[in-house]
């Protein structure tokens, strides 16, 4: 912080902007937490410098809102000329509407241009005065060195105070503009720093700021919207994430490490996807490893990279390289029971120390990852045993016969996913149907599902052994196949509303 405060004035003069103290604090904290491959104070200085340069470019260029208005005017003018080429009543009405819109947009454009010019003039005048003061300070220093004290006094007690008064007037004027809602900013704050860190690391901006704390409190309710019928499991996961965000978990371990147990189709993978989307705003932050590919002893080395002299040495490890490039991610090791025992030896270090050294000697940081292992071990016990305590005990006993105690002991929690019933499957219909809705939004086609049709699809797709997977197949057959035929036959066009209903125990399609 002392170094940054010492450089603050120079950077402000160089970029002709103001750097808030909160930006300096954010640069230290965010660079230390999120940029792990560089060192302080260099990375913090670079953050401040780049954020200042970014702000300076924004000031020099046209504001985004003004550019948007100009683009809208151009688009409407082109549309108007195209409509005038085809004379009919419908087009005439649209041309009349466009003329009104253009009049409003022209007025808005003139207002924004005037505001932008006034703000730019005030900013440029202040920047010019500051540059002039720097020149005078250098001139006074030179005069002192040459014993020209009268000249130095004239500069320091005459010219510089006059310029400082002008700067104060301009800054007061700028403050009034800011209060009224200005187009330009002249100061670098913590949001500016977070934007640059986001650009460097790919981590969403809101994850770095204090507002994220409020969001994390809602994690359980958000997960419940996507993962149905697994309230106990989601509570365990949410508690672990909250502990980490509150700074109560061990700093040298991953954010969380879990083993998801349960039958097929109960939401284990969906939970991992939802977690990645919630924490990192992108499902692509889920890095998936199918353990069926690591059943042989020779394939284990692919995780951290082949040894020198072997094929694939230059490529690095499949696990270490992905995490090095994307340190903020959810790691999903699917069907972990199929992996070779040596895989667990690799994972022991990750779970315990939060780091792993690849074949080239590079240490990769896993402290910002969530590790999820999925397995179908104990599925029979989950399906057959009704009492929760007996079921959990039976599943854990089965687990202990397949995994070593030192491996299980390093996991934060073992999460058991329950078998899905008909009520849960009915709720999942809504989620899957909404996914189909989103696909048709681009075509301007809306679809709806009546309650009777929903219950029918749920009954067709319900299988207690296979979970929600048969439901997806039922939706393919009952909804998507019918939609595909109607779209290809041009019976459904843009703007149509489609409703799926039940008549005589059959799902029919109504087109409006």
- Tell how strand 363-365 and strand 355-357 pair up: antiparallel
Cα–Cα distance, 422 to 436 (Å, whole number): 21
Q: Quick check: 417 and 230 in contact, CB under 8 A?
A: yes
Residue 467: CB partners within 8 Å, gap ≥ 6? 263, 264, 265, 266, 267, 419, 420
Q: Is the pTM of this model over 0.85?
A: no
- CA torsion 102-108-114-119 (nearest 10°) is -140
Going from the C-alpha of 439 to that of each of 17, 322, 430, the distances in angstroms are 46, 30, 15
The whole-number pLDDT of residue 447 equals 87
The whole-number pLDDT of residue 164 equals 85
Angle CA 76–77–80, to nearest 5:
85
SS3 320: helix
Buried b (16+ CB within 10 A) or exposed e, 405-440: eebeebbbebbbbbbbeeebbbebbeebbeeeeeeb
Cα–Cα distance, 197 to 38 (Å, whole number): 13
Roughly what angle, to the nearest 10 degrees, separates helices 219-226 and 268-280?
Answer: 140
Taking every pair of Cα atoms in the chain, the longest distance, rounded to a whole number of angstroms, is 106
Domains of the chain: 2-62+185-201 (3.40.50.300), 64-180 (3.40.50.300), 210-416 (3.40.50.300), 422-511 (1.10.8.60)
The whole-number pLDDT of residue 64 equals 78
The whole-number pLDDT of residue 438 equals 87
Cα–Cα distance, 326 to 304 (Å, whole number): 15
Per-residue pLDDT of the chain (512 residues; tens, 9 = 90+): 788 888 887 888 788 788 888 888 888 888 887 777 778 888 889 999 998 888 888 777 777 788 888 888 888 888 888 888 777 777 778 888 888 888 889 888 888 888 888 878 887 788 788 888 888 888 888 888 888 888 888 888 888 888 888 888 887 877 777 777 777 777 888 888 888 888 887 776 655 555 566 778 888 888 888 888 888 888 888 888 888 777 777 778 888 899 998 888 888 888 888 888 888 777 788 899 998 888 888 787 888 887 777 776 777 788 888 888 888 889 999 889 888 888 888 888 888 888 888 878 888 888 888 999 998 888 888 888 878 788 888 888 888 888 888 888 888 888 888 888 888 888 888 888 888 888 888 778 888 888 888 888 888 888 878 888 888 888 888 888 888 888 888 888 887 888 888 887 788 888 87
Long-range contacts (CB closer than 8 Å, 24 or more residues apart) made by 54-60: 54/192, 54/195, 54/196, 55/15, 55/17, 55/185, 55/186, 55/187, 55/188, 55/192, 56/15, 56/16, 56/17, 58/184, 58/185, 59/17, 59/120, 59/123, 59/184, 59/185, 59/186
């Amino acid at each position: 912080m002392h170094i940054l405060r010492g450089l603050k004035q120079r950077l402000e003069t160089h970029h002709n902007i103001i750097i808030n103290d909160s930006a300096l604090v954010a640069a230290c904290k965010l660079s230390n937490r999120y940029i792990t491959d560089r060192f302080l104070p260099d990375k913090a200085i670079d953050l401040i410098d780049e954020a200042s340069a970014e702000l300076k470019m924004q000031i020099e260029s046209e504001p985004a809102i003004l550019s948007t208005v100009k683009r809208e005017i151009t688009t409407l003018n082109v549309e108007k000329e195209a409509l005038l080429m085809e004379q009919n009543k419908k087009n005439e009405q649209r041309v009349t509407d466009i003329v009104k819109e253009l009049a409003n947009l022209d007025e808005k454009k003139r207002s924004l241009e005037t505001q932008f010019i006034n703000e730019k003039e005030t900013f440029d005048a202040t920047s010019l005065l500051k540059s002039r003061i720097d020149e005078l300070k250098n001139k006074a220093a030179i005069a002192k060195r040459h014993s020209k004290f009268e000249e130095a006094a004239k500069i320091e007690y005459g010219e510089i105070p006059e310029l400082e008064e002008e700067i104060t007037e301009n800054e007061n004027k700028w403050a009034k503009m800011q209060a009224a809602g200005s187009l330009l900013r002249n100061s670098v704050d913590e949001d500016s720093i977070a934007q640059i860190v986001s650009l460097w690391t790919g981590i969403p901006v809101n994850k770095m700021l204090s507002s994220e704390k409020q969001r994390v409190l809602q994690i359980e309710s958000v997960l419940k919207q996507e993962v149905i019928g697994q309230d106990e499991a989601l509570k365990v996961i949410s508690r672990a994430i909250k502990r980490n965000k509150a700074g109560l978990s061990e700093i040298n371990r991953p954010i969380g490490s879990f083993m998801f147990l349960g039958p097929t189709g109960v939401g284990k993978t969906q939970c991992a996807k939802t977690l990645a989307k919630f924490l990192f705003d992108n499902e692509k932050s889920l890095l998936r490893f199918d353990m069926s590919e690591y059943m042989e002893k020779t394939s284990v080395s692919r995780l951290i990279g082949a040894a020198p002299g072997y094929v694939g040495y230059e490529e690095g490890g499949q696990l270490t390289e992905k995490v090095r490039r994307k340190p903020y991610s959810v790691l999903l090791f699917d069907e972990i029971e199929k992996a070779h025992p040596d895989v667990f030896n690799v994972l022991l270090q990750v779970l315990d120390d939060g780091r792993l050294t690849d074949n080239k000697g590079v240490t990769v940081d896993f402290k910002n990852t969530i590790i999820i292992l999925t397995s179908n071990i104990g599925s029979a016990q989950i399906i057959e045993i009704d009492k929760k305590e007996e079921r959990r005990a039976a599943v854990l006993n089965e687990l202990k016969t397949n995994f070593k105690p030192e491996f299980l002991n390093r996991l934060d929690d073992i999460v058991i996913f329950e078998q899905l019933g008909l009520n849960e499957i009915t709720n999942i219909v809504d989620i899957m149907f909404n996914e189909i809705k989103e696909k048709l939004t681009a075509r301007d086609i809306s679809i709806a599902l009546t309650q009777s049709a929903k219950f029918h699809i749920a009954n067709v797709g319900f299988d207690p052994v296979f979970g929600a997977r048969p439901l997806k197949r039922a939706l393919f057959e009952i909804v998507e196949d019918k939609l595909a035929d109607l779209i290809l036959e041009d019976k459904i066009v843009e703007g149509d509303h489609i409703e799926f209903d039940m008549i005589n125990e059959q799902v029919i399609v109504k087109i409006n």
